[in-house]
Amino acid sequence: MANRAKAAMPGFIKPQLATLKMKAPSEGWIHEIKFDGYRAQVHVDKGMARIFTRNGHDWTKRFAAIAGAFRLKSQTIFDGEVVVVHEGRTNFSELQADLAKGRQDRMLFYAFDILFHNGEDLRSRPQLYRKERLKELIDMLDPPVLYSEHMEGDGHELFEAATRLNYEGIVSKRADASYRSDRNEAWLKIKTVQKGKFPVVGFVKDPTGVAALYLGKKEGKELVYMGKVGTGWDRTTSGKIRKALDTVVSPKSKLSKQLKKPKATWVDPVFTAEIEYRDITSDGLLRASSFKGLSKN
């Protein structure tokens, strides 16, 4: 039988994307921690590496330290995530801050898939096969290049662990599935959320209610600013929030450190907003926040 002809190394490959689900699947899947970073595709061509963003932009210079760690003499395409680990978990805000400063010493690349290797297009191969081939190659390299570990079976256990550790969530992948360059249900993302209650310190008006709420947090005797929330209510709820806050309007902010917010109507921190959020940024502000309820202190 003739050997299969070797394929030429392709250019940038549009990445496979995960579909958001509420619950992790069980048998027939593998599960990985969801990284909070920048999706990246690494093209290694006989000792030289180029790194592309998920939209195909060449960011090799911005990730030069990672590119330099791919000393393989092969032709290989890796899929993964560039991250910065801060306080024990990947932190997108810290990564953005490092990119803005041109700092690369904290950046890591977690490889979670391999798409091509030495003339073989691996995208048609099953997910587990690709992970095995991936591990063989990543084991030959050193940090900042790392292998994304996975577990098989029911993903609920890993999701519970991710929740306890305040990770972003998990990604579940069909063990027998090929790699497809679109958003599909062979890859699923199950996200954790954090919840908290924050004093409302102000709001932005809209014609019938509120466009946004400004939030604070008590730290000792200080009332510090925690950012704003502008989603999570319908028109009826927005009107009810406005009616409640109109009763406690204040001539100036009650925050310990005054802020310039020209559109703000400041209030006494009498009401508390229940908020779901993804993270707290390096600037101390809520990230990806959503309103869930209002109560009076």
Given this chain, do its domains 17-191 and 194-296 carry the same CATH topology? no
Distance CA(169)–CA(116), nearest Å, equals 28
Q: Are strands 222-229 and 38-45 parallel, antiparallel or unpaired?
A: unpaired
- Segment holding 244, helix H or strand E: helix 235-245
194-296 in CATH: which number?
2.40.50.140
**Residuewise pLDDT in 10s, the chain (297 residues):** 345 678 999 999 999 999 999 899 988 999 999 999 999 999 999 999 999 999 999 999 999 999 999 999 999 999 999 999 988 889 888 898 899 999 999 999 999 999 999 999 999 999 999 999 999 999 999 999 999 999 998 999 999 999 888 888 999 999 999 999 999 999 999 988 888 999 999 999 999 999 999 999 999 999 999 999 999 999 999 999 999 999 999 999 999 999 999 999 999 999 999 998 877 887 889 988 999 999 998
Q: Which two tokens stand for residue 193?
A: 């959320």
Note the pLDDT of residue 4.
61
Q: Is 34 a catalytic residue?
A: yes
Note the pLDDT of residue 282.
79
DSSP state of 124: G
Note the pLDDT of residue 168.
86
Q: Which two tokens stand for residue 165?
A: 């550790």
Q: Say if residues 225 and 201 touch (Cβ distance below 8 Å).
A: yes
* Locus of tokens 């390096």: 282
Note the pLDDT of residue 92.
87
- Segment holding 278, helix H or strand E: none
Q: Which two tokens stand for residue 144?
A: 């900042």
Catalytic residue among 6, 21, 23, 34: 34
Note the pLDDT of residue 250.
96
DSSP state of 246: G
- Superfamily covering domain 17-191: DNA ligase/mRNA capping enzyme (3.30.470.30)
pTM of the model: 0.75
* Locus of tokens 């619950």: 23
Note the pLDDT of residue 1.
39
* Locus of tokens 């700092």: 103
Q: Which two tokens stand for residue 208?
A: 């019938």
Collapsed DSSP state (helix, strand, coil) of residue 294? strand
The closest alpha carbon to 114, from 89, 131, 91, 96, belongs to 131
The domains of the chain are located at 17-191, 194-296
> From residue 33, how far is each of 90, 112, 192 by CA, in Å?
10, 10, 11
Note the pLDDT of residue 3.
54
Q: Say if residues 10 and 75 touch (Cβ distance below 8 Å).
A: no
Distance CA(149)–CA(289), nearest Å, equals 29
The closest alpha carbon to 142, from 178, 113, 185, 111, belongs to 111
Main-chain dihedrals φ then ψ at residue 174, nearest 5 degrees: -60, 125
Alpha carbon 236 to its chain centroid, in Å, reads: 32
The closest alpha carbon to 89, from 116, 62, 110, belongs to 110
Cα-Cα end-to-end distance for the chain: 78
Q: Which two tokens stand for residue 251?
A: 């001539």
Work out the widest C-alpha separation in the chain, in whole angstroms: 85
Q: Which residues contact 177 (CB under 8 A, 6 or more apart)?
A: 126, 127, 186
Distance CA(14)–CA(16), nearest Å, equals 7
Alpha carbon 65 to its chain centroid, in Å, reads: 22
